[in-house]
């Protein structure tokens, strides 16, 4: 039975339930109640333009149950209780831990410095050599290892995978420009323009910074 039918049935408890002794003393007209999609029927009496049905009959056709607790008659309808409970209890999204976020921000800052140094060298036609690129890479890798060690929760571990992907993309960019300089001893200043790996690094960095602000992990396609 769908939720609309359940809600309608719940309303009928108020509108339709009337002690049968009172009904017996009042002129009445018989009819039937059917819940949409259900084969069973319950007898309905109409009094002064209003319709009434026994609570037990309503429970039977709704596949629910009735129990008496003190002076209360409690009608339980399938699915209604669980739906109410789920709506009343908000689901908390696991957050990134503070320890991991601190380490991630340091790693992102180092990767950003690595990229800025490489882009500046290319745009100003400075030689791109393993000597100084290697130093930037090793420093960023050390920060990445600290972030990896700080990833203690499931959201942390998912986020650090994206951080590793940024590091890997940045390493590939460095290798591209090292190879270009080795072969031609010259790198066009506009080589960073429309570089697919560089766009990946920038997009993924922005996504991780956004996650750090909300402290909640969200997968980012550009990081894969």
Report the alpha-carbon distance of residue 202 to residue 173 in Å, rounded.
12
Q: Where are the beta strands (DSSP E) in the chain?
A: 29-34, 41-47, 50-52, 65-69, 72-76
Do residues 114 and 216 share a domain?
A: yes
Please tell me the total count of domains within the chain: 2
Looking at the structure, tell me whether residues 46 and 143 fall in a common domain: no
Residues 83, 112: one domain?
Answer: no
Q: Which two tokens stand for residue 206?
A: 């922005």
| 123/113 Cα distance (integer angstroms) | 15
Tell which of 88, 112, 139 closes a domain.
88
Q: Does residue 184 form part of some domain? A: yes
End-of-domain residue from the set 44, 66, 88: 88
Which residue's entry shows tokens 């990946």? 200
pTM: 0.58
Residue that terminates a domain, selected from 88, 121, 145: 88
- Residue 131 structure tokens: 């000597």
Domain of residue 174, residue span: 98-223
Pair 146, 160: CB distance under 8 Å: no
Report whether pLDDT(106) > 80.
yes
**93 found inside a domain:** no
Tell me, yes or no, whether 156 lies in a domain.
yes
60 and 28: one domain?
A: yes
pLDDT at position 92: 65
Check whether residue 109 and residue 79 sit in a common domain.
Answer: no
Are 214 and 146 part of one and the same domain?
A: yes
pLDDT digit string, tens, across residues 10-28: 444 434 444 444 444 555 6
What integer pLDDT is reported at residue 121 of this predicted model? 87
Q: What is the mean pLDDT of residues 114-129?
A: 88
Determine contact, residues 45/27, Cβ cutoff 8 Å. no
Q: Is residue 60 part of a domain?
A: yes
Rounded (10°) CA dihedral 218, 219, 220, 221: -150
Q: 74-104: per-residue pLDDT in tens?
A: 778 776 555 454 555 555 667 999 999 999 9
């Amino acid at each position: 039975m769908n939720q609309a039918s359940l809600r309608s049935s719940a309303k009928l408890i108020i509108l339709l339930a009337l002690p049968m002794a009172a009904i017996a003393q009042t002129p009445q007209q018989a009819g039937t109640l059917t819940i949409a999609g259900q084969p069973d029927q319950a007898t309905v009496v109409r009094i002064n333009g209003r319709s009434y049905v026994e609570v037990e009959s309503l429970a039977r056709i709704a596949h629910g149950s009735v129990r008496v607790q003190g002076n209360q008659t409690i009608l339980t309808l399938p699915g209604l209780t669980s739906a109410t409970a789920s709506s009343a209890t908000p689901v908390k999204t696991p957050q990134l831990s503070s320890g991991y976020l601190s380490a991630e921000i340091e790693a992102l800052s180092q990767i950003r410095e690595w990229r800025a140094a490489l882009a500046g060298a290319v745009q100003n036609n400075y030689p791109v050599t393993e000597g100084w690129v290697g130093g930037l890479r090793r420093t960023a890798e050390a920060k990445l290892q600290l972030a990896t060690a700080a990833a203690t929760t499931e959201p942390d571990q998912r986020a650090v995978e994206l951080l590793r992907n940024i590091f890997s993309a940045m390493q590939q960019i460095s290798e591209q420009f090292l190879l270009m300089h080795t072969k031609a001893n010259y790198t066009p200043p506009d080589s960073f323009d429309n570089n697919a790996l560089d766009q990946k690094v920038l997009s993924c960095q922005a996504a991780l910074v956004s996650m750090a602000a909300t402290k909640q992990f969200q997968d980012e396609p550009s990081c894969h």
